[in-house]
Amino acid sequence: MRASVDDRLKRSLLGFLLILFTGAVACAQSPADALSFPPITRVNRPWTRWWWLGSAVDQANLSRLLAQYHDAGIGGVEICPIYGAHGYEDRFIPYLSPKWMTMLAHATRVAQRLDMGVDMTTGTGWPFGGPNVSNDDASAQAILDSTSLAGGATSDYTLPRGRLQ
């Protein structure tokens, strides 16, 4: 039994409409999926700078603080070891010493277990100062100044010459 031309045309048209409808449904769902919020991971959670003053840290407190940061929604920490906090010199850990490296390894293991990231500043100090920077190389002072200008006016203020202050 052969289908008539009309029957074949009807089936083809029905198949075409089914494909068109399925495509329209898929297209209607795509924008919602494309605009949905991505899953929350350490990549899109906020990170924080984590000052290690005098690197006076210990494993128990590193673990406790990382857990608190994680529970608060922090995705990672940027460790900034910086020379001292007065009054706690007996707890200071020399930067990059074996004990300091043990503390860093511990913090990294705990962060990994909590699915957090760990990063480091590129050196100690602010931004790279410390006891090893002599007065000749260090910034010496901050000079605060202000100037008021009328709308449309330009300034003829010149920056001081010589060593960066």
Using CA atoms, how far apart are residues 103 and 59, in angstroms rounded to an integer? 6
Using CA atoms, how far apart are residues 96 and 55, in angstroms rounded to an integer? 10
pLDDT in tens, 38-55: 787 777 899 999 999 888
| Across 151-165, average pLDDT | 71
Higher pLDDT, 95 or 27: 95
114 near 89, Cβ under 8 Å?
no
pTM above 0.75, yes or no: no
Residues whose CB falls within 8 Å of the CB of residue 10, separated by 6 or more in sequence, listed in order: none
CA dist list (Å): 40 to 50, 86, 93: 22, 40, 35
104 near 62, Cβ under 8 Å?
no
β-pair type (47-53, 76-82): parallel
pLDDT in tens, 133-157: 777 766 666 667 777 888 888 888 7
- Rounded to a whole number of angstroms, the distance between the first and last alpha carbons of the chain is 98
pLDDT in tens, 101-136: 999 999 999 999 999 999 988 766 555 556 777 777
Using CA atoms, how far apart are residues 139 and 129, in angstroms rounded to an integer? 9
